[in-house]
Amino acid sequence: MQQSHAYNDTSLALTTEVLDAKARKNLSWQDLADDTGLSLAYVTAALLGQHPLPEHAAKVIGKKLDLTADSVARLQIIPLRGSLAGVPTDPTIYRFYEMIQIYGTTLKALVHEQFGDGIISAINFKLDIKKVEDPEGGSRAVITLDGKFLPLRPF
């Protein structure tokens, strides 16, 4: 039977345990995602407390991190999602916040013009990030947010 968290306390403790083991074993997020059958972004989000892992993936990661059976079971619990409150202070997260502050209304206008009234789902969603070389020097981050459009249904 699926279980669900009601508070973030247990998720935070599990995330801390995962991060400690990941650092101790010098593993990358990709190392952890390998052999789970899931995307890098999904596994990373799950291990940071934002998604449950299917049993197979939880067991694969549990073995890689030497987690207890209890911790492997807790990786499968549906979390209380959302990790940010207020304006983020971490510079990397803040830049995403800044992007939404600047381009949020543009994205909203374009979505509504092209799709109609509705939202883009963060549940039926795919995320990808790639590092590409910038022709002007350095690197660029190409981030793809791929969400299903859910139209408003009057009732």
Handedness of CA 39, 41, 42, 46 (dihedral sign): positive
Q: How far is CA 26 from the centre of its chain?
A: 21
The tokens for 81 are: 């999602």
Strand partners, 118: 151
The tokens for 74 are: 């807790």
The tokens for 75 are: 């990786």
Q: Is 57 exposed, middle or buried (0-12, 13-18, 19+ CB in 10 A)?
A: buried
Which are the catalytic amino acids?
A: 95, 98, 121
> Which position has the token pair 């998604």?
51
For 2, list phi and psi in degrees, rounded to 5: -70, 145
